[in-house]
Structure 1
């Protein structure tokens, strides 16, 4: 891999590094609450998975850039433009989820992110099949993370003690 490849692999990590620098104290305990999900991994595992995913998609973007001529001309506008938008939305999701602790807003952004990644895979496939296939772990991870966000959002809407069912009148 050329030095440019290292830049492409490192670029997606800028957002999470800034988030960690700006709010390291708020990252732990993000999934702890009165209704903690039993299957919810610790925040460190989530951050590790995001790190691996960002490295993979960074490498995939490098493959697309390389196959389209290694420049920054018009042919790269759509494939890497979608990638750039996806990165910003992904970083926004992390901010909403870990820093602002708003799983509902994170969920909306995750749904948008899912559509962007599917679009990227469809556009990248004719350019570089491996790059498109490398997006599949990201889609799988987004499915898991969206499920976590949904459950945390749903549980945040419910009161601490669920309402007691009203008794039916007997005839």
Structure 2
């Protein structure tokens, strides 16, 4: 059903938008004052990249949900891991940009990376396409 596709695909954007809204004034002030590597992409590419990543992971979660027959006992681990990695993903922006806690943000991103890998591992036997849709998030 189209409503499910749209809902699952849009869901990750909610936390991303909320984090951006809370910390949007920190980019032109605090963040721009940090020393960054010369190879860092320009700021205007980040919204495009995150829109793509959030849409991809959201759609992937829909594919897993659909193949598992909805939220049931079979979905607890694969969708629970997805939810946990998404929560850490959403937490990173307020930790890094809002609280300026660089070490805590690093811990968060390492945990998130591990949960993304675990999510992908749990999704692979269910829906390989969903697993592939998560690969760009690891890069």
Normalised to the residue count of structure 2, the TM-score between the two structures is 0.90
- Within the alignment, does 1:62 sit opposite 2:62 as a pair? yes
CA contact (8 A) 2:78 2:123 kept: yes
- Within the alignment, does 1:78 sit opposite 2:77 as a pair? yes
Task: Identify the range of structure 1 (50-59 vs 27-36) with the bigger mean alpha-carbon deviation.
Answer: 27-36
Equivalent-residue separation in structure 2 for 1:78 and 1:30 (angstroms):
38
Larger radius of gyration: 1
Equivalent-residue separation in structure 2 for 1:25 and 1:102 (angstroms):
16
Equivalent-residue separation in structure 2 for 1:107 and 1:75 (angstroms):
32
SS at match of 2:32: coil
Q: Which residue of 2 aligns with 1:152?
A: none
SS at match of 1:134: helix
Equivalent-residue separation in structure 1 for 2:23 and 2:31 (angstroms):
16
Q: Which runs of 5+ in 1 are unaligned?
A: 141-171
Matches within 5 A, 1:149-160: none
Report deviation, 1:124.
0.1
Q: Which residue of 2 aligns with 1:149?
A: none
CA contact (8 A) 1:23 1:99 kept: yes
CA contact (8 A) 1:31 1:43 kept: no
- Within the alignment, does 1:130 sit opposite 2:129 as a pair? yes
Q: Which residue of 1 aligns with 2:2?
A: 2
Equivalent-residue separation in structure 2 for 1:126 and 1:97 (angstroms):
34
Q: Which runs of 5+ in 2 are unaligned?
A: none
Q: Which residue of 1 aligns with 2:111?
A: 112
Would you say how many aligned residue pairs link Structure 1 and Structure 2?
139
CA contact (8 A) 1:31 1:37 kept: no
- Pairwise CA RMSD: 1.7
SS at match of 2:16: helix
- Residues 34 and 100 (structure 1), Cα distance of their counterparts in 2 relative to 1, 3 Å cut: closer
Normalised to the residue count of structure 1, the TM-score between the two structures is 0.74
Report deviation, 1:20.
2.5
